Copies of this chain bind each other. A is one copy, B any other.
Amino acid sequence: MEEQSRYDAKLTRILRAAAAVFAEKGYHRATIRDISAATGVSLSGLYYYVRSKDELLYLIQRQCFETILESLDSELCDVTDPERRLGLLIGNHLRFFASNMSEMKVLSHEADALSGDYAKEITDQKREYSATVSDLLGALAPQARSVDLRRATFSLFGMMNWIYTWYRPDRDGPVNVLATEMTHLFLRGFAPGVQDGGSRYTNLR
């Protein structure tokens, strides 16, 4: 047991470091040597924990999704109001994003880097997550066609995922404010909301 948990702890550390390296240089430009240097584990030593560079990426992405979907479940489970549910989802997404910038950048940016079974598994999780969002939006606009929902879903994901390219807490304010604002933007639109909506939605989270 001890053994196992020590192994897991080290693997976790490796994944963290790898995510940081991938985030900084991009998956393909990052080398296993970079990760070796970042972790302090020898080049060949890494292969005791991980089968390949591919798997490293896969594990990072999988863990991201697991965590995000888990915490989402626990947030949504006892809320029924669609608008509040959406607010919680956006908050959950952005908060996780902000506290795991490296991992999320990797998840957003390196979607195509995976191949084979790894890719399929991650794609499936992604689809599941999308479906959750789409259903949620469906509840908000029961009359919307599935094409409309699809477009809206991915518009929302675009808004949220794109933050890895620009968001920096020190300059752009805390995540919660961002989440509140994005929620409002998505539900009520840009201009008018700035005036009155701001207060209406601060209690979303």
Chain B residue numbers with a CB within 8 Å of A137 are 190
B-chain residues with CB within 8 Å of residue A140 when the two chains form the complex: 190-191
Q: Which chain B positions have C-beta within 8 A of A150? A: 166, 172
Among A9-17, A62-70, A72-80, A153-161, the stretch that binds chain B is A153-161
A88: min CB distance to chain B, Å: 16
Interface string of A173-200 (1 = CB under 8 A from B): 1000010011011111111111100000
- Does A6 sit within 8 A of B, measured CB to CB? no
A159: which of B28, B155, B188, B195 is its contact (CB, 8 Å)?
B155
Is A152 at the interface (CB under 8 A from chain B)? yes
Please tell me which one of the listed residues B141, B160, B190 contacts residue A190 in the complex, with CB atoms under 8 A apart.
B141
Q: How far in angstroms is the closest Cβ of chain B from A147?
A: 6
A111 close to B (CB within 8 Å): yes
Given contacts A140-B190, A181-B151, A194-B148, contact A113 B157 (CB under 8 A): no
A112 within 8 A of B: yes
CB-CB under 8 A for A172 and B158, given A190-B137, A190-B187:
no
A154 & B162 in contact (Cβ 8 Å cutoff): yes
Nearest neighbor of A186 in chain B, beta-carbon distance: B190
Q: Does A95 contact B (CB under 8 A)?
A: no
Nearest-neighbour CB distance to chain B for A182, whole angstroms, equals 6
The reply to whether B26 and A194 contact each other, CB–CB distance below 8 Å, is: no
Q: How far is the CA of A193 from the CA of B166 in the complex (A)?
A: 28
The chain A residues found within 8 Å of chain B, CB to CB, are 26, 28-29, 109, 111-113, 137, 140-141, 143-144, 147-148, 150-152, 154-163, 165-167, 172-173, 178, 181-182, 184-195
Given contacts A148-B194, A188-B192, 5 further A-B contacts (CB under 8 A): A26-B28, A140-B191, A147-B172, A151-B178, A151-B181
